[in-house]
Structure 1
Amino acid sequence: MLNLSQNGFCGALHPSLGHLNQLKFLVLGNNSLQGRIPNELTNCTNLRAVDLSSNQLVGEIPVEIASLSELASLDLSQNNLTGGIPSSLGNISTLSELITTENQLEGRIPEKLKWLHRLTLLALGRNKLSGPIPQSIFNLSSLEIISLERNQLNGQLPSSVGNLTSQLQYLLLGQNELSGSVPSSIGNLQGLTGLGLDSNNFDGMITEWIGKFRYMEKLFNLGRSIATETD
C-alpha cells in the first residue's frame, strides 16, 4: 500500500509510479496534485484500489485503466477531469465502486457499465453528463447507492428502476432534466433510506408507491410539478 493522502503534495503524478508493479492500494486523495493521470499507472496490474480524489487533476480518464483487471475501487472525485466516462470501464469485472463525482465530465453514461455485476456504488453526480440513463444500469442487482444528481440527464425514468433489489439504499437523481411520470415500479425498492428526484421535470401523480418505503429517512423534494393523489 502507498498512502500519501491528506498532505500538501503538489505537481504532477510522476510516470515512475508505473514501476510499482506489485502495488495493490494507491491512496493519494486530499492533496494538491495537478496534471493528467499518467497512462503508466496502468502498468501496476495488481492494483485493487485507486484513490486520487480531492486534487486538481485535469484531462481525460485514461481508457487504459480498463487493463487493471483486479481493480475493485476507483475514486476520481473532486478534480477537474474532462471528456467522457470511458466505456472500457465496463470491462473491469471486479469493480465494486466507481466514483467520479464533482468533475467536468460530459457525454453519456456508457451502456457497457451494465457488465459491472459486482458494482455496489455508482457515483457520477455533479458533472455535465447528458442523455438518458441507460435502462441496463437498473439491472445491476448488487447496487447499494446510485448517485447521478446535478447533471444534465434527460428522458424518462424507465420502469426497469424497479428491477433493483432491496439492497439499494440511496437513489439520487435530483437536479437533472428528467421528465415524464415516476414509474410505480419504484415502489419495489423497499430498502431505500434516501430518495432524491428534486428539480427535474417530472409530472403526473404520486400514487401508492410513496408509502412503500419502510426504511426511508430522507425524502428529498420531489419537485414542484408532481401532484399528490388525494382520493
Structure 2
Amino acid sequence: MTDAVTERRFDVAFLPALQLLTFSTGVVDAVSYLALDRVFTGNMTGNVLFIGFALAGTGTTPLLNNVVALVGFLIGALVCARIVRGRVHASRLPTANLAVLLGSAALALALGIIWLAVSTLEGVLLLAVTGLLAIVMGAQAASVRATGITDVTTIVVTSTLANLAIDSRLAGGTGDKWRRRLGAVLAMGLGGAGGALLVRFTGGASALVVAALLMLVAVALLHVARRREEAALG
C-alpha cells in the first residue's frame, strides 16, 4: 500500500472526530456571541475585527471582552504547544495532544456546570468564563494540528472555503478533498445554528454543556482512530 493511500485512509479515520469538533466550535461561538456579550472564543478573525471597530469608536461590541478572548486563545495555543512540542509517537496524534483535548473538553464542561449553578454571568465572572473558554479553543486548535489535516482546523473555515474554490473543477483543479472541506463548512454553520437555537430555548449554560459533551465524544472518536492507526502501523 502506497504512502498516499495509507495517509488517505488515516485521514478518513480522523475526519469524523474533527468534523464533530468543528460542529462543537460552532455551538461554542454561538454561545459566546449570543450569551457572553458579543464575543467569539473560537473565531479569532471576528474578534480582531471587533477590537478594531471598538478602537475606532464604532460598532457595539465591547473592547475588553474581545481582548480577553483573544489573549485567552493565545494562551491556550501557547500552553498546548509547550506541552506537546517534541513528543514522538507512532500515531499522528500523540498522547499529549489527546490529553490536552480531553482536559479542554472537561474544562468546557466544568464552565457550563458552573454557569448553570450561578445562573447569571456578570462582571469578572463573565470575563473569566470568556477567557477560560477561549483558552479551551486555543488549546484545541493547537492540539489537532498534529493530525496534519489542514482543511479541518476545527476552529475556522476561511482557508477551507478558499481551498474549496481554488481546487474546484470550476477553477481548473481536481476537486480533491472537496467533501471534507464542504463538510467542515457545513459543520461549522450547522453548529452555529444549533447553538443559537439552544441558547434561545435553553440558555447559554445548557448550550455550553451540550458543546462540551460533543467535544468529549469527539475526543473518544479521536482515541479510536488513533488506536486503529497504531495497529495498522504495527
The answer, yes or no, to whether TM exceeds 0.5 is no
Higher share in strand: 1
TM-score (norm 2): 0.20
Higher share in helix: 2
Relative contact order: is structure 1 or structure 2 higher (C-alpha 8 Å, sep ≥ 6)? 2
